[in-house]
Structure 1
Amino acid sequence: MRLVLAAAAVVLAACQSTPAPPSGKTVALRVEVIGGGPLRPGTVTFPEFVLYGDRTLIRADGDVPVEHHLTREEFDRIYDRARSAGLETARTFDEQAPDAPVLEVVFGFDGGRSVTRITAPDRESPGEAGEVTRAVVVDPERDLSSPHQPYAPERVAVVAGTSSGAAEGPEWPLEPLAEGVALNGGRCAVYDAAQVHEIRSDTTWTSRGVAYRVQVRPLLPDEADCAALTHQP
């Protein structure tokens, strides 16, 4: 009886030490590359992909992100691969490389999350940083057999950075760009997607006599506003 109870205690402890994935629109895994040299004011990135607890995966795919609805098997394969790489524990791999890009990985679980950052990520690296970098690569042909469609956000952020030289380009049709909130050296405002459906990223507009280059950044389901686009060191 004592042996049975001891074995049961070991199994229970093992289960308790492995948190379950999150549910709903809580981030299960988010992979994004940030920085990489001097950036223009107002530069904003889009993640390589974000996987949510309800098995929705949204990934970058050229100019138009795509949305997948994964099977349980697909979700488990991607999530467990990240877990096996040790992403439940937050770590920082700092190579002290000026202007190098940083790979930021958010690993979510029921009741919390951890954030791992890798400076100058290299998939060929033999160490732990390389292992993590390889573990969070999603190959659409290998990992994503489920149907997908273009991601249709409800809201988008418009991030504007001032352009050098004289004002040029058409007049911005919405609120003055200078009135947006500060973000990455530029200004950011959030609109319903229908309001800016004809505006394209990396185009120049004039607002109150100042030229701005704008980026249109779809907001993800877990991103409420411009503050969600700021990455803390």
Structure 2
Amino acid sequence: MALASLVLLAAGCGRATDTADGEGGGYSFPGGDTVAVRVDHVGGFVPATVNLTRLPALSVYADGRVISEGPTTMEYPGRALPNVQLRRISSGDVQALVAKALEAGVGKPTDFGTPGVTDLPNTRIIVTTADGVKKTEVYALLDDMSHAGLTPAQEQARRKLLDLIKVLTDLDTTLGAGKVGPVEQYVPTKVAAVAAAWQDPGAGVDAGPAVAWPGPALPGASLGEGLSLGCVVADKDAPAVLAAAAKATAITKWTSGGKDWTVTLRPLLPDETGCESLGK
């Protein structure tokens, strides 16, 4: 897919960051939209639009909502909206997941080494505790570490995090039968739209008819010097944007202000406020 300004960002090598001390068991979160546990990927040698609109792999909220990106099809062009899914667990199980993350060492200074690979993203895990937010960020967290040039201790530390991610992403096994609610479609109250000047996808690719953009005027606020990307947030216009996007694809030509745009849509999660939340 042709995108304007394919600015490629490379991730640095990460070590764990100890942002707080203490345990999180029994912690009373300040609000239901507080992120209790989150796993996401940041950086990597990918277009800037990807880094800005990438969804966290998993977000567990204090009120028991669990939000993740569901399966996607291999069709081209892909759908305009990502498949964002919602499930629900009990507050007690939220605390159990926090405890598992802490037991796995999230937030503790750890030597994860630097694998001999390039251009891969960092994996970041955060946990909210009574003493604040703990965070661990690791470059190139891979299942296959056989040729990564790591010491046995570094491999073991990485394996511990990989095992934690499996625990967090397979909640039916982790929490037990009947403990996780059915899959629902996540319906955001706000949708961010990252806009770039329209580029024809090329011969033989049908972008479909142009569609009038139903949200705030594009392109919106600049997302950074040299990016040629703007961002707007549909708030009161979110239902109209979602309805139009349901019939659109990733290469749909949107029209706004007499110009044509390519728009990448990013449903905002409960803890996210606007364009400033993207790529954080």
CA distance in 2, matches of 1:152, 1:222: 14
Q: Tell me, yes or no, if the aligned pair for 2:42 and 2:279 is still in contact at 8 Å.
A: no
2:170 to 139, 147, 150: 139
Q: Secondary structure at the match of 1:147?
A: coil
CA positional deviation for 1:172? 2.9
Whose relative contact order is higher, 1 or 2, with alpha carbons under 8 Å and at least 6 apart? Answer: 2
Between Structure 1 and Structure 2, the one with more strand by share is 1
Please tell me whether residue 214 in structure 1 is matched to residue 248 in structure 2: no
CA positional deviation for 1:228? 1.3
CA distance in 1, matches of 2:60, 2:48: 29
Equivalence for 2:278: 229
- Could you tell me the TM-score, scaled by structure 1's length? 0.77
Segments of structure 1 that go 5 or more residues without pairing to the other structure are: 1-15
Equivalence for 1:4: none
Please tell me whether residue 189 in structure 1 is matched to residue 232 in structure 2: yes
CA positional deviation for 1:210? 4.8
CA distance in 1, matches of 2:131, 2:36: 11
Segments of structure 2 that go 5 or more residues without pairing to the other structure are: 1-20, 72-81, 146-154, 202-208
Q: Secondary structure at the match of 1:222?
A: coil
CA distance in 1, matches of 2:143, 2:135: 19
1:101-120 mapped onto 2 (5 Å cutoff)? 101-120=121-140
Of the structure 1 ranges 139-148 and 116-125, higher mean CA displacement relative to structure 2 is found in 139-148
CA positional deviation for 1:97? 3.9
CA distance in 1, matches of 2:91, 2:211: 48
Please tell me whether residue 27 in structure 1 is matched to residue 35 in structure 2: yes
2:46 to 14, 38, 49: 38
Please tell me whether residue 152 in structure 1 is matched to residue 187 in structure 2: yes
* Aligned sequence identity (%): 24
Q: Tell me, yes or no, if the aligned pair for 1:180 and 1:188 is still in contact at 8 Å.
A: yes
CA positional deviation for 1:67? 1.8
| C-alpha distance 209-121 of structure 1, shift in aligned 2 (>3 A) | farther
CA distance in 1, matches of 2:139, 2:278: 19
| C-alpha distance 161-106 of structure 1, shift in aligned 2 (>3 A) | farther
Equivalence for 2:210: 169
- Which deviations, in whole Å up to 9, do the C-alpha atoms of 1:53-93 show, x marking residues without a partner? 22221121133322222124532442222111111336685
2:84 is matched by which residue type in structure 1?
Answer: P
Q: How big is the alpha-carbon RMSD for the aligned residues of Structure 1 and Structure 2?
A: 3.1
Equivalence for 1:198: 243
